[in-house]
Structure 1
Amino acid sequence: MTKVCFVVSSLCNEGPVNVIYNIIRYMDFSSFEVSIITLIPEKKNSRLKDFKRLPIQIYQLTKDKFLRPWSMFFQLKRKVEEINPDILHSHCPRSLYLSYFLPKKYKKVYTIHIYPGLQQEILYGKWKGKIVNILNHYFTHRMDLAIGCAESVSSLYLQNKGWKIHSIPNGCSLPLWKKDCNKKKQIRKLLGLKESIQYFIFIGRFSYEKNPDFLVKAFQALPQQNIGIILLGTGPLWEHLKKYENDRIILPGFKTNVYEYLIAADFYISASDVEGLANTILESMTVGLPMLLSDIPSHKEVLDKMSKCVGFIYDHHDINSLHQSISNIITLNKEEVSDEIRSVFIRYYTAQRMSKSYQEAYLNIHN
């Protein structure tokens, strides 16, 4: 029996935590004993209840207040010694830094959910972000096994650092949508969407590196009145952008019924400056949505898997480029595109496939 302990800041409903959930959900519990240690109090969007339904142990170092770094480290050390795992798997910078200083007898794995760069500078400020990026590189290079969440992440490390990083692409557990036009119409009606409008859907945090403000401006200036956009999520820019909402630009805020919105939508769109391998694009693939994607490596990675045109890369800082791409994508044969997207999803991006790859990696490093 191989004992795997996941270490993460909290179980909030965000990309890295959803990856952890999908790894564990499909693990072979006859071969693995699984535990999770969280380091800070849970947020309102916690998935703690979902994790408690799994046959695992969950240990919260603190439930109601933030610990100082030294106190957090010593509590973590005591808990890890109590669990005595074979493998410690970190999924965030905080857990990466702390796990490095734990005894070497524990094999240490770290999943790189995004190549350190612009996102950290936006989250922490320019200079603090640069320090965080340096630390991320330093500690990542000293793990027993670092895993990129996409082939493009591993390629960036090879290109910029000369390091060979193992890659396991993220996976999604949403079911494949069985095309049902009547059901789609019902869902659109329940969500208050107009039948006469074709909707693009953006899903993500309303922050500068995701560029939701660019999308709102672009769709305001779009000459076609039968094309709109749904922007799901919340964040620093949401309240400012909410005032531009109309029949064609819809900002519902944070929603838990994302799958229904995906079914109701006609196209997927991203304007991100940086991504690892966004769970939202994988979720859109289960519905077979044609995609307009910003010009970044992980988006090109997905489109390169396709045997036919299922969407377009555009300059995500040029409104004219987006408008031209919209004119191009609406001419695609949606039935053929959807079939190709779902086929590629099954081949490369299911949660079962991802979990199996992680389990193989655990066994290899343990043995």
Structure 2
Amino acid sequence: MIKIAFVTNYITNNGPSNVILDIIRNLDKEQYSVSLITLFKGNDERIVADLRNNGVQIFTCKTLSRTKCLLGQGREFQELVKREGFDIIHSHGIIPDILSSRVKTSVRKVTTLHNNMFEDYVQTYGKVKAKIFIKMHIDALKKMDCRVGCSKSVYQVMRKYLKNVIFIRNGIKPKIAKHTVTRKELDIPEDAVVFVFSGGLSFRKNVQFLTQNFVQYHNKDEYLLLLGDGPEREACEQMVDDHVKLLGFQDDPAAYYNISNIYASASRSEGFSISVLEALSCGLGLFLSDIPSHREVVGMGEDLYLGENFSIQNDDRSFNTAMGELRKNFNRVDKEAIKDFQLKKLSDKAMTVKYDKEYNKFLKAGD
């Protein structure tokens, strides 16, 4: 029996957490004894209870803070890992990676890199702090046994700085709506083309750009649903017209995907967006900013039309130009074929099989 522990800041309903949960749920429990270590407050207790009911051991650290961890004061975590005698610890995020890298036992250390830190940290922390955090994170990653990019685009960035990086694309279980939303409720015609975005209304998600350009260029039969909240909501409220519906945070975005046609995102940086994967699982076409991970997912369509990328720099591949291409090809957006594509290429099960192979590969190498 392989003893594996997943390490994260806290477990909740967000992208990295959902990747962890999908791996946990799909691992062979006859081969793996699974634990989850959370470092800070913020756990969704319903998720914790569900994991416990399914035989996952939960360890919640009581004495740690982000500052202490960055300064090397992670004694509670170090003692926990030594005491439990895990074979593998699989960490997710900068602080979990830093703590894991400092463990002085024979435990094998795996990490999943969920973002392009060279973009994401600058946008989140500013240039000065980002420079410090990037150095700390790279130094920690060098001490890991297995470094996994969540997309090919993340891998292509990180292989310039680290040896032996691989990539396993994020995958998800198809998203099923918990309730029904109708277009009539939102005052949207049944024959309209509906775009939808789900996520934080933040600088990194670039929602002001999406809102402003949609208002400027949409046709009379096109509508945009914005699902989410955040610091840029007020600015977006000043831009919207009758074709943009600001609906706030929704805990069941799939209900809105089911009345939509196209998933839209102008994000400045993504690892491999879970929201995009969820939209694909509901059969939506894509209209995404021209960043590496967005180009990657649209390009995976091969013979299948998944949608268009647009530039957020207002160059030749402008929002309006790409929107025109999307309109010309809209009849090629095949909902059932897109669902099938996600199920075959970007599923939680396919992702977990690849992680399982990596776990076994380096455990055998260490025998």
TM-score, scaled to structure 1: 0.89
Provide Cα deviations, 1:247-272, integer angstroms capped at 9, x if missing partner: 31112121111111111111111111
Residue 311 of structure 2 aligns with which residue? Answer: 315
* Structure 1 residue 118 displacement after superposition: 1.8
Residue 28 of structure 1 aligns with which residue? Answer: 28
Residue type at the aligned position of 2:144: M
Residue 354 of structure 1 aligns with which residue? Answer: 351
Provide the C-alpha distance between the structure 1 equivalents of 2:68 and 2:357, rounded to a whole number of angstroms. Answer: 36
Superposed, 1:167-246 pairs within 5 Å as 167-175=167-175, 187-190=182-185, 193-195=188-190, 197-246=192-241
- Specify the SS of the correspondent of 1:147: strand
* Structure 1 residue 41 displacement after superposition: 0.5
Answering whether residue 261 of structure 2 is matched by residue 302 of structure 1, we say: no
Residue type at the aligned position of 2:306: V
* Structure 1 residue 364 displacement after superposition: 1.6
Residue type at the aligned position of 1:354: M
- Specify the SS of the correspondent of 1:325: helix
Residue 328 of structure 1 aligns with which residue? Answer: 325
Change (3 A) 1:162 1:39: closer
Provide the C-alpha distance between the structure 1 equivalents of 2:38 and 2:351, rounded to a whole number of angstroms. Answer: 22
- Specify the SS of the correspondent of 2:117: coil
2:278 to 273, 277, 283: 283
- Specify the SS of the correspondent of 1:265: coil
* Structure 1 residue 304 displacement after superposition: 2.1
Residue type at the aligned position of 2:172: C
Provide the C-alpha distance between the structure 1 equivalents of 2:211 and 2:45, rounded to a whole number of angstroms. Answer: 26
Superposed, 1:233-272 pairs within 5 Å as 233-272=228-267
Provide the C-alpha distance between the structure 2 equivalents of 1:171 and 1:302, rounded to a whole number of angstroms. Answer: 12
* Structure 1 residue 45 displacement after superposition: 9.4
Name stretches of at least 5 consecutive residues in structure 1 with no aligned partner: 178-182
Residue 104 of structure 2 aligns with which residue? Answer: 103
Provide the C-alpha distance between the structure 2 equivalents of 1:174 and 1:198, rounded to a whole number of angstroms. Answer: 23
- Specify the SS of the correspondent of 2:359: helix
- Specify the SS of the correspondent of 2:217: coil
Provide the C-alpha distance between the structure 1 equivalents of 2:67 and 2:117, rounded to a whole number of angstroms. Answer: 25
Change (3 A) 1:123 1:333: closer
- Specify the SS of the correspondent of 1:195: coil
Answering whether residue 79 of structure 2 is matched by residue 78 of structure 1, we say: yes
- The answer to whether the Cα contact below 8 Å between 1:287 and 1:342 also exists between their aligned partners in 2 is yes
Answering whether residue 68 of structure 2 is matched by residue 91 of structure 1, we say: no
- The answer to whether the Cα contact below 8 Å between 1:197 and 1:248 also exists between their aligned partners in 2 is no
Number of residues of Structure 1 aligned to a counterpart in Structure 2: 360
- The answer to whether the Cα contact below 8 Å between 1:114 and 1:276 also exists between their aligned partners in 2 is yes
Residue 113 of structure 2 aligns with which residue? Answer: 112
* Structure 1 residue 63 displacement after superposition: 9.0
Provide the C-alpha distance between the structure 2 equivalents of 1:209 and 1:67, rounded to a whole number of angstroms. Answer: 24
- Specify the SS of the correspondent of 1:108: strand
* Structure 1 residue 107 displacement after superposition: 0.4
Answering whether residue 123 of structure 2 is matched by residue 122 of structure 1, we say: yes
Residue type at the aligned position of 1:326: M
Residue type at the aligned position of 2:309: I
* Structure 1 residue 315 displacement after superposition: 0.7
Provide the C-alpha distance between the structure 2 equivalents of 1:285 and 1:170, rounded to a whole number of angstroms. Answer: 13
- The answer to whether the Cα contact below 8 Å between 2:66 and 2:95 also exists between their aligned partners in 1 is no
- Specify the SS of the correspondent of 1:35: strand
Greater shift in the superposed pair: 27-36 or 80-89 = 80-89
Name stretches of at least 5 consecutive residues in structure 2 with no aligned partner: none
- The answer to whether the Cα contact below 8 Å between 1:149 and 1:167 also exists between their aligned partners in 2 is yes
- Specify the SS of the correspondent of 1:318: coil
* Structure 1 residue 274 displacement after superposition: 1.3
- The answer to whether the Cα contact below 8 Å between 2:147 and 2:164 also exists between their aligned partners in 1 is no
Greater shift in the superposed pair: 235-244 or 7-16 = 235-244
- The answer to whether the Cα contact below 8 Å between 1:214 and 1:317 also exists between their aligned partners in 2 is no
Residue type at the aligned position of 2:228: G
* Structure 1 residue 335 displacement after superposition: 6.0
Provide Cα deviations, 1:15-44, integer angstroms capped at 9, x if missing partner: 111100000011110000010111110167
* Structure 1 residue 72 displacement after superposition: 5.7
Provide Cα deviations, 1:157-199, integer angstroms capped at 9, x if missing partner: 23x336341111101112589xxxxx98x63334554435321
Provide the C-alpha distance between the structure 1 equivalents of 2:87 and 2:43, rounded to a whole number of angstroms. Answer: 29
Residue 342 of structure 1 aligns with which residue? Answer: 339
Superposed, 1:140-159 pairs within 5 Å as 140-158=141-159
TM-score, scaled to structure 2: 0.89
Provide the C-alpha distance between the structure 1 equivalents of 2:167 and 2:75, rounded to a whole number of angstroms. Answer: 32
- The answer to whether the Cα contact below 8 Å between 1:122 and 1:209 also exists between their aligned partners in 2 is yes
Greater shift in the superposed pair: 58-67 or 222-231 = 58-67
- The answer to whether the Cα contact below 8 Å between 2:154 and 2:293 also exists between their aligned partners in 1 is yes
Provide Cα deviations, 1:271-294, integer angstroms capped at 9, x if missing partner: 112111101111111122111121
* Structure 1 residue 115 displacement after superposition: 1.9
* Structure 1 residue 95 displacement after superposition: 0.6
